[in-house]
Amino acid sequence: MKKKHNNELDLSAEDLELLNTPLGIQFLLADKKTNVPKALRQVKDEFIFHKLQAEMIRLQHWVIEKNKKVVVLFEGRDAAGKGGAIRRITEHINPRHFRIVALPKPSVEEQGQWYFQRYVNQLPKPGEMVFFDRSWYNRAVVEPVNGFCTKSQYRSFMEQVNSFENMIMDSGIFLIKFYFSITKEQQALRFNDIQSNPLKRWKMTDVDRKAQELWDLYTEFKVRMFEHTNLKKSPWIIIEADRKTEARIAALQYIIDTIPYNEREKNHRGAKAE
């Protein structure tokens, strides 16, 4: 099929109006060679973001006003885009009333505690939202794959995690569990981008370097995690994340659709209000 040149593109009046906005012009000029379809897609996505982010502000206002508590977990393979999604979702909400939690390797003291204790310490107070960039589910996949926990510790986690989450929700916390899913090929591309960019190279860890080699083992433990913890009350929401922008929009849309901040009756799976 013969491709149309840019000047032959079938653009609607609405498309032209979008491309003539400051944002549209910015995207048109972003590449050395003008790519009208790409710029149009980007500006449309950005306007969707603006609309959803405005709703996110309303949602947070409701959380603060009604003393609600929200926890959102972001899980997925290395380089799946979890951190970037959290940044876009929280970009315009009040920083005094949300936290992003990305816990480091446990200290010696924490290693001697009940596994869930350090996550309990990070749960939201009334009027707060907490976004976990990786969570207690480290013990379901990352730790057993890389030999960071014993088989006994893994079994104990799997036996306790559903009860732990039930306690969280019964205490009045809205719980959402995202899993960002990418292909092996996309992960490799992103790792190459990180390694070749001096501004991103610091992100690459020893665990990341083994991720491709251990891909199938990660898959095995991921499947076990889903089979055991994908419950009606606290389901896993799978986000197809090869396209970062679409993944971020999908996650943001799900949060807005799930938390009943507009006081309408909603089918908010995996959450129980106070």
Asked whether 271 and 263 are in contact (CB, 8 A), the reply is: no
pLDDT level of residue 3 (50, 70, 90 thresholds): very low
Which three-class secondary structure state does DSSP give residue 109?
helix
Per the CATH hierarchy, to which homologous superfamily does domain 67-258 belong?
P-loop containing nucleotide triphosphate hydrolases (3.40.50.300)
Q: Is the pLDDT of residue 37 over 90?
A: no
The 10s digit of each residue's pLDDT in 116-165 is 999 999 999 999 999 999 999 999 999 999 999 999 999 999 999 999 99
Neighbouring residues of 171: CB distance < 8 A, sequence distance ≥ 6:
69
The 10s digit of each residue's pLDDT in 219-272 is 999 999 999 999 999 999 999 999 999 999 999 999 999 999 986 444 444 444
pLDDT level of residue 4 (50, 70, 90 thresholds): very low
Which helix (H) or strand (E) covers residue 181, if one does? strand 173-181
The 10s digit of each residue's pLDDT in 81-130 is 999 999 999 999 999 999 999 999 999 999 999 999 999 999 999 999 99
Cα–Cα distance, 92 to 56 (Å, whole number) = 8
The 10s digit of each residue's pLDDT in 184-231 is 999 999 999 999 999 999 999 999 999 999 999 999 999 999 999 999
179 closest CA partner among 90, 113, 270: 270
Which helix (H) or strand (E) covers residue 18, if one does? helix 13-19
Q: What b-and-e string marks burial along 198-217, b requiring 16 or more CB atoms within 10 Å of the CB?
A: eeeeeeeeeebeebeeebee
Cα–Cα distance, 82 to 77 (Å, whole number) = 9
Segments making up each domain of the chain, as ranges: 67-258
